[in-house]
Amino acid sequence: MTTMVDRSRVADAYPISPSQAGLLFESLKAGEEPRHLEQYAYLLRGQLDSDRLRRAFESVVARHDALRSMLRWEKVETPLQIVLRAVDVPWAELDLRGLPSREQELRVDAFLSERRLEGIDPRRAPPLDVSLLRVEDNATWLVVAFHHALLDGWSYTQVLRETIAAYDHGGVAPPSLAPSQPYSRYIGWLKKRDGGGDEQFWRERLESSSEATPLGIDAERPHFAGPAFGELHEVVPAGLARRVQEIARTHRISEAALTVGAWALLLSRWSGSRDVLLGATMSGRPDRLPGASEIVGMFVATPPLRVCVPSTRPALEWLRDVHAEMLEVRQHQYTPLPDIRRQSGIAPGQALYESTVLHQSVPFVREGSRFGQDLFVERKKSFRSPGFPLGLMTLRDGERLECVIQYERARISDSFAAAIPAAWLGILAAIVAEPHIELRRVYGVPDEEKRRLLRLGAGHTNAEPEPLVIERVLEHARRRPHAVALSHGRVRLTYLELARRSAAVAARLGARGVGLESCVAIWSDRSADMVVAALGAMRAGAAYLPIDRAQPAERVAAMLEDASASLIVTDDPRGPEIGDSVELAGLGSHAVTSELPDVGGESVAYVIFTSGSSGRPKGVAVHHAGFSNTIGWRIRAAQLGPEDHGSHLVDTSF
């Protein structure tokens, strides 16, 4: 869609900044899914004059050209920011008075969700909208949303501060406000900036990087309910927040370095890599541009930051290095990300980083604070749609420090995301408690979790080896032959049926030459027959190799080759055309005409493949003894008995 603009309405036009270009690229890549939207909702207690508030917003929008701007990238050689002379602020009001409080809460949340799904088109001016949802005569939700490509967090705080001042001044901007500064001044500064050393700087930092640091905690989750992104807030304990300030002040390192360092150490633990590449979000406001702090617009940049995590380095010395490197990167943060990418060893189309971190020290409107002379904020809700799978943001306001985790729910589950704040805070607390500690000794495990792990590690020692999984099944078949062993859909198999059918599978496989030290691949959908085939392969003395049918043919071929699979059992006659195969259907009806081999704990039970750090799948052989020990521990830890049932939810090849 191309928006036509009457030339008489245009006050100015100039190229967009590198930061804007990066956000615009991410938004276009996401397609219809709204990206880089920020939404803030405040429950204001007091008698709100909605007309006066609207005039206040309009007066502030009239002051700043960024708030009267739109982006244009279609049918132009260079993307432009077009400033209009005047705009109407999109405004909506909804009266929810008279509804039960629970219904009001649901309606407010639904409204916020719908607005987020609609997003804000950066081709529209202004790049923000305002809504009022009145829930009582003296209680109203104020909702402000804007597109991040035209406004950053610092600027939004300034806009809100000026709006409050204008509201208290009768709905017009008071003369006491500093004169507004046009965003075009920053664009002009960028044009004059000498970036001659940028290319060499980024080449030296990134030339040897071949991939973004993997998160190590994510997994593709194509089916999940609710919004695409999640956001968690946690206030840092007051004692820890003060200690962070003390360490930063005493040792002359920034709080941002402490934040980034603790996050880099956490990423290192998750990924298993001592070479961490993350996105470090910086203010982007040039020290050499007079009045830069007063300009409203989009400044922040998120250049890559490469952090080495040497295990024996004292934490404080290492943090000084992180601080120094951040200062170096800050001088080159204005380099467009495509130019930075070209200096790296990362393949085109691949992300430079998967995770971002931001530390901000600005006064935010929060719960309990005044909103002008007559109102105060009783509650606050916020939402930011990040451009990357995982992000940490820390917000410093005086002695208060807040931690915000943003995550992509298609990659990271809500349950795992809920544990991230404690993991990061644990590392931060360990560092500030003992600044000279070696990095390898920084565990960052919360006390409660540490006690739980110690309990798990203090289990009993078995005098006798655990019975093999095969033996457990056969023992149940003798003692409880008619008890249900497994079910799938309408299929029910008793332990006796499972024992008989798996014996028949083992005999059939034995007739095909399968025996001890063999490997049998099972290429099948999730089914009862798949379990029968796996148990039958183990009873034949072989290891089984589960293969997800959704895997690409090249990966399947690599797995079969590495595992030396001698036979493929499949429920699809059109299965992989690689090696010898036998159909799963009817496999369990083969007559048992010979004794099955004795299988010991030292034999391999199954082979499982990980993703592999190099991108090629890596096989892991699990022996029967280890398999049995794991099953025995799980039975004891969960106190499982004959009446309990378990569900298999994960991928069969994982």
Per-residue pLDDT averaged across 576-602, rounded?
Answer: 64
Per-residue pLDDT averaged across 471-488, rounded?
Answer: 94
141 pLDDT higher than 90 = yes
| φ/ψ of residue 109, rounded to 5 | -65, -40
**Higher-pLDDT residue of 587, 308:** 308
User: Which residue is it, tokens 């207690």?
Assistant: 45
Dig out the tokens for 647 from the structure. 């569900």
What phi-psi label fits residue 305: left (phi over 0), alpha (psi between -120 and 50 degrees) or beta?
beta
The torsion defined by the Cα of 182, 187, 193 and 199, in degrees rounded to 10, comes to: 150
What pLDDT shows up at residue 406?
Answer: 92
The CA-CA-CA angle for residues 597, 602, 608, to 5°, reads: 95
What pLDDT shows up at residue 527?
Answer: 87
Distance CA 140, CA 378 (A): 10
Per-residue pLDDT averaged across 259-288, rounded?
Answer: 93
Summarize pLDDT for 434-454 with one digit per residue, the tens: 999 999 999 767 667 777 777
550 pLDDT higher than 90 = no
Highest mean pLDDT pick, 291-295, 579-583, 596-600: 291-295
**Residue 520: Cβ-neighbour burial (10 angstroms; 0-12, 13-18, 19+):** buried
Per-residue pLDDT averaged across 475-480, rounded?
Answer: 94
What pLDDT shows up at residue 582?
Answer: 59
534 pLDDT higher than 60 = yes
What pLDDT shows up at residue 648?
Answer: 79
**Amino acid identity, residue 562?**
D
Contact 258, 432 (CB under 8 A): yes
Those residues with Cβ within 8 angstroms of residue 158's Cβ, 6 or more apart along the chain or in another chain: 294, 296
Per-residue pLDDT averaged across 542-563, rounded?
Answer: 86
Summarize pLDDT for 385-433 with one digit per residue, the tens: 777 889 999 999 888 999 999 998 888 888 889 989 999 999 999 999 9
Per-residue pLDDT averaged across 464-480, rounded?
Answer: 92
Distance CA 429, CA 446 (A): 10
What pLDDT shows up at residue 404?
Answer: 93
What pLDDT shows up at residue 388?
Answer: 85
Summarize pLDDT for 513-533 with one digit per residue, the tens: 899 989 999 988 888 889 999
Provide the mean pLDDT of the chain: 88
**Higher-pLDDT residue of 456, 277:** 277
Dig out the tokens for 359 from the structure. 């530390």
Distance CA 247, CA 430 (A): 12
Highest mean pLDDT pick, 20-24, 34-38, 421-425, 635-639: 421-425
Question: pTM for the whole thing?
Answer: 0.69
What pLDDT shows up at residue 89?
Answer: 94
SS3 category, 486: strand
| φ/ψ of residue 381, rounded to 5 | -130, 145
| Among the listed residues 535, 474, 477, 536, the one whose alpha carbon sits nearest the alpha carbon of residue 504 | 536
Kindly list the distances between the CA atom of residue 376 and the CA atoms of 140, 371, 372, 465, in Å, as whole numbers in the listed order: 11, 5, 7, 67
Per-residue pLDDT averaged across 33-43, rounded?
Answer: 84
- pLDDT-derived band at 589 (thresholds 50, 70, 90) equals low
Residues of the chain with pLDDT > 70, as a percent, come to 90
Q: Give just the sign of the alpha carbon dihedral 44, 46, 52, 56.
A: negative
575 pLDDT higher than 60 = no
Summarize pLDDT for 218-246 with one digit per residue, the tens: 776 666 677 778 889 999 999 999 999 99
Domains of the chain: 7-184 (3.30.559.10), 231-363+394-454 (3.30.559.30), 469-637 (3.40.50.980)
615 pLDDT higher than 70 = no
Q: How far is CA 446 from the centre of its chain?
A: 21
Pair type for strands 69-72 and 80-84: antiparallel
Distance CA 336, CA 22 (A): 8
What pLDDT shows up at residue 340?
Answer: 92
What pLDDT shows up at residue 590?
Answer: 52
DSSP 439: G
Those residues with Cβ within 8 angstroms of residue 73's Cβ, 6 or more apart along the chain or in another chain: 24, 79, 80
625 pLDDT higher than 70 = yes
34 pLDDT higher than 90 = no
The CA-CA-CA angle for residues 454, 456, 457, to 5°, reads: 65
Per-residue pLDDT averaged across 555-581, rounded?
Answer: 76
Those residues with Cβ within 8 angstroms of residue 294's Cβ, 6 or more apart along the chain or in another chain: 158, 178, 180, 181
Q: How far is CA 60 from the centre of its chain?
A: 35
Per-residue pLDDT averaged across 342-367, rounded?
Answer: 85
What pLDDT shows up at residue 566?
Answer: 86
Helices (H) and strands (E) in the chain, counts: 18, 23
- pLDDT-derived band at 369 (thresholds 50, 70, 90) equals confident
302 pLDDT higher than 70 = yes
Distance CA 449, CA 431 (A): 18
16 pLDDT higher than 70 = yes
Dig out the tokens for 581 from the structure. 């195969």
Pair type for strands 618-623 and 604-610: antiparallel
Distance CA 631, CA 538 (A): 16
- pLDDT-derived band at 337 (thresholds 50, 70, 90) equals confident
End-to-end CA distance of the chain: 44
Q: What is the largest CA-CA distance in the chain?
A: 99
Distance CA 609, CA 564 (A): 13
Dig out the tokens for 463 from the structure. 């005098």
The sheet carrying 69-72 orders its strands as 10-15, 80-84, 69-72
SS3 category, 40: strand
Per-residue pLDDT averaged across 357-377, rounded?
Answer: 83
Those residues with Cβ within 8 angstroms of residue 320's Cβ, 6 or more apart along the chain or in another chain: 251, 253, 257
Residues of the chain with pLDDT > 90, as a percent, come to 57
What pLDDT shows up at residue 608?
Answer: 92
What pLDDT shows up at residue 249?
Answer: 95
